[in-house]
Amino acid sequence: MKTIGVLTSGGDAPGMNAAIRAVVRTGIDKGIKVMGIQRGYNGLLNGEIFEMNRTSVSDIIQRGGTILRTARSDEFKTVEGRKKAYNVLKVFGIEGLIVIGGDGSFTGAQKLSDEFDVKTIGIPGTIDNDLAYTDYTIGFDTALNTVLDAINKLRDTSTSHERVSIVEVMGRRCGDIALFTGLAGGAEYIIIPEREYNFDNLCRTIIEGKVRGKVHNLILLAEGVGGAEDMAKKIEEVTGIQTRATVLGHIQRGGSPTAFDRILASRLGARAVELLVEGKSKRVVGIKDNKVIDVDITEALNMKKESNDNLYDLAQILSY
Ligand SMILES: Nc1ncnc2c1ncn2[C@@H]1O[C@H](COP(=O)(O)OP(=O)(O)O)[C@@H](O)[C@H]1O
Ligand SMILES: O=P(O)(O)OC[C@H]1O[C@](O)(COP(=O)(O)O)[C@@H](O)[C@@H]1O
């Protein structure tokens, strides 16, 4: 393998830069030319491609976002679009493509390999932690710490006013951000797509807590379940306790990556290059029990994420 390409696609995540750095420097260390592709599959279709060197990835390990930028591409979802992408890769002499992104980006890589025999390797970059084959995705840990910082601040004001505070966090189909920060932040209630919740039960928990002397109530809500504002109004109506909603939004996607995310990104970036050198393709790298693993893309995409029932139950017991 003489030349490889790297791109970031879908939503950005803190730690993507550390992954790009690892890909570029591992590639150069192995005598491979590394091409950076800007703006995901969009940039690939437009030929936004340039050669990277050791210096192009200097001073980025600590930065959030992605220096390669990211985008979503509808054209790439069509077979004609992917044929065009294949032609661009050929013109630039790119023999292997490393895609840093989530399940949508991996699906694109899978199709590119199936239809045009392009060698692809995926690196999981998304704050949602919604990929079943890996224990953690790059960006998740940083997002958790950002949310935790916000929760700590909200607790202060919520306690002073003896209010209920609902915090809506990202996670469309996966409640991991809400669950992990709910446990770490001592939330009274966690609402996630994986577990059914009952509104009356929620209100009862709040009222009982007040009677027992709780001075605040913190509810962690995953965005996939519903709107925080509406829920706040309904809770206030039923319980009579002032309730405020905070939607954290894209703040969760930014910021300097934690040590955990930088180390994860460095390990996965290096392994992705090694796999291409070994002649492997259509695989995704991940982490299982602190060991770097690689799995067939199709298999990885078909895996169903196990729900974290133990953590959910623990959070419930500890919140009482
Ligand atoms: N079914 C698909 N077929 C081909 N390409 C896809 C498919 N789904 C997503 N992609 C490509 O991957 C990009 C990123 O996917 P998206 O779901 O937005 O983010 P993520 O990778 O974070 O899940 C899309 O804009 C599209 O170009
Ligand atoms: O604002 P955007 O970029 O359209 O996307 C918002 C979504 O991106 C995420 O941060 C990550 O989702 P993906 O893994 O699909 O990119 C979600 O939690 C959120 O719902």
ipTM: 0.97
Angle at 77 (CA atoms; ends 114, 127), nearest 5 degrees: 95
Closest CA to 181 of 234, 121, 123, 251: 251
Closest Cα to atom 3, ligand 2: which residue?
11
Ligand 1 atom closest to residue 103's alpha carbon, by position in its atom list? 23
The ligand that comes nearest to the alpha carbon of residue 127 is 2
Give 236 Cα–ligand 2 centroid separation in angstroms.
30
Closest Cα to atom 16, ligand 2: which residue?
11
Give 103 Cα–ligand 1 centroid separation in angstroms.
7
Give residue-wise pLDDT tens across range 93-151: 999 999 999 999 999 999 999 999 999 999 999 999 999 999 999 999 999 999 999 99
Whole-number pLDDT of residue 215: 86
**Could you give the CA distance from residue 113 to residue 96 in angstroms, rounded to a whole number?**
10
Whole-number pLDDT of residue 19: 99
Whole-number pLDDT of residue 307: 85
Write out residues in the chain with pLDDT < 50, as ranges.
none
CATH 3.40.50.450 fits 3-139+257-302, yes or no: yes
Which CATH superfamily groups domain 141-253? Phosphofructokinase domain (3.40.50.460)
Return residue ranges of the chain for CATH 3.40.50.460.
Answer: 141-253
Return residue ranges of the chain for CATH 3.40.50.450.
Answer: 3-139+257-302
Active site residue 29: no
Which amino acids bring their CB within 6 angstroms of ligand 2? 10-11, 102, 104, 126-128, 170-172, 223, 253
Give 20 Cα–ligand 2 centroid separation in angstroms.
20
Give the side-chain half-sphere CA count within 13 A for 76.
25
Ligand 1 atom closest to residue 126's alpha carbon, by position in its atom list? 22
Please state the residue numbers annotated as binding site for ADP: 21-25, 155, 186-188, 212, 214-216
Annotated catalytic residue within 59, 114, 117, 128: 128
Amino acid at 271: R
pTM of the model: 0.97
Whole-number pLDDT of residue 320: 81
**Could you give the CA distance from residue 111 to residue 275 in angstroms, rounded to a whole number?**
19
